[in-house]
Amino acid sequence: MAVVPYKDASDSKKNQVAQMFNSIAGKYDFLNHFLSAGVDIYWRKKAIALLQKSKPKQILDIATGTGDLAIEALKVDPDKVTGVDISEGMLAVGREKMQKKGLSNKIELLSGDSENLQFEANSFDAITCAFGVRNFENLEKGLSEMNRVLKPGGRVVILEFSKPTAFPMKQAYNFYFKNILPVFGKMISKDQSAYTYLPESVQAFPDGRSFLGILDKVGFKQTQWQSLTFGICSIYTAIK
């Protein structure tokens, strides 16, 4: 059974995920930094640093949300970053942010589904995705689509939450994720489910080696994984 945000709803996971992010979009950036004590900023920096050597000119940021990873991607001096997302609410917050920062000429945010991308094969030098893949309805389809639109030799960098395994971080993390984060998340976002869906979806996600196995299966090469901050988060990289 797929983990979905609204358990009593009959809608697909994709529609529920879009609805949930539409509902929390206005508070998303604040909650991200608040609930992670700002560590998410460091994780995005680490992910983009992995693109520094290959100097990609066309970057696609999948599940871009409000565009923070797309902004970080400008550090590698691309010609353009294209972000896609299924949540119009998140994109609207992102577009306003780009406008305020004067980045609309460098970063384009488009409505688009990672599982059915609107781009031709071999279009991008690099693909990035932060905290998106866990939300896909069909993970393999989403990763295959990334592979299709990436140029041969191009690199994909994926950031996602993972489950710490060592004592005492595992216990501390479980307590925080299950008892503290949902309370503050609900209070601030006013969404009943978003911050219970977060720990549940992390729990159900095939992290670490299992995720590398799926990247291999859909055709990526040189799949690698590094764990960050006691295993709370992981960066996965691969080449087409």
Ligand X SMILES: C[S@@+](CC[C@H](N)C(=O)[O-])C[C@H]1O[C@@H](n2cnc3c(N)ncnc32)[C@H](O)[C@@H]1O
Structure tokens at 102: 């004067």
Q: Does 85 bind ligand X (CB under 6 A)?
A: yes
Of 122, 140, 154, nearest in space to 210 by CA: 140
Interaction between residue 201 and ligand X (CB under 6 A): no
Stretch that binds ligand X, among 10-18, 101-109, 143-151, 232-240 (CB under 6 A): 10-18
From the list 4, 60, 69, 127, which residue makes contact with ligand X (rule: CB under 6 A)? 69
Tell me the window of 58-66, 72-80, 160-168, 173-181 that interacts with ligand X (CB under 6 A): 58-66
Q: Which amino acid is at 153?
A: G
Rounded least distance, CB 111 to ligand X, Å:
9
Binders of ligand X among 20-39, rule CB under 6 A? 21, 32
* Residue 118 DSSP one-character state: S
Please give the Cα distance from 137 to 177 (Å, whole number): 22
Determine, following the binding rule CB under 6 A, whether residue 68 of this chain makes contact with ligand X: yes
63 in helix, strand or coil? coil
Name which of 4 and 18 has its Cβ closer to ligand X: 18
Interacting positions 101-120 with ligand X (CB under 6 A): 113-115
The C-alpha angle with vertex 130 and arms to 213 and 10, in degrees rounded to 5, equals 80
Span near ligand X by CB under 6 A; candidates 78-86, 118-126, 169-177, 223-231? 78-86
> If you ran DSSP here, which 8-state letter would residue 165 be given?
-
Select from 93, 109, 130, 139 the one that contacts ligand X (CB under 6 A). Answer: 130
Q: Which of 47, 86, 215, 232 binds ligand X (CB under 6 A)?
A: 86
Residue 223 among known ligand-binding residues: no
Phi-psi sector, 231: left (phi>0), alpha (psi -120 to 50), beta: left
Q: Tell me the closest approach of the beta carbon of residue 75 to ligand X, in angstroms.
A: 15
Tokens of 98: 């780009």
Residue 9 has phi, psi (to 5 degrees) of -85, 155
**Is residue 85 part of an annotated ligand binding site?**
yes
Helix ranges, the chain (H) = 13-35, 39-49, 68-73, 88-101, 139-149, 169-175, 181-189, 194-204, 209-217
* Nearest position to ligand X, beta carbon: 65
DSSP letter for 121, please: T
Binding flag, residue 212, ligand X (CB under 6 A): no
User: For residue 127, which amino acid is it?
Assistant: I
Residue list for the binding site for S-adenosyl-L-methionine: 66, 85, 113-114
Which residues of the chain form contacts with ligand X (CB under 6 A)? 14, 17-18, 21, 32, 63-65, 68-69, 84-87, 90, 113-115, 130-132, 135-136
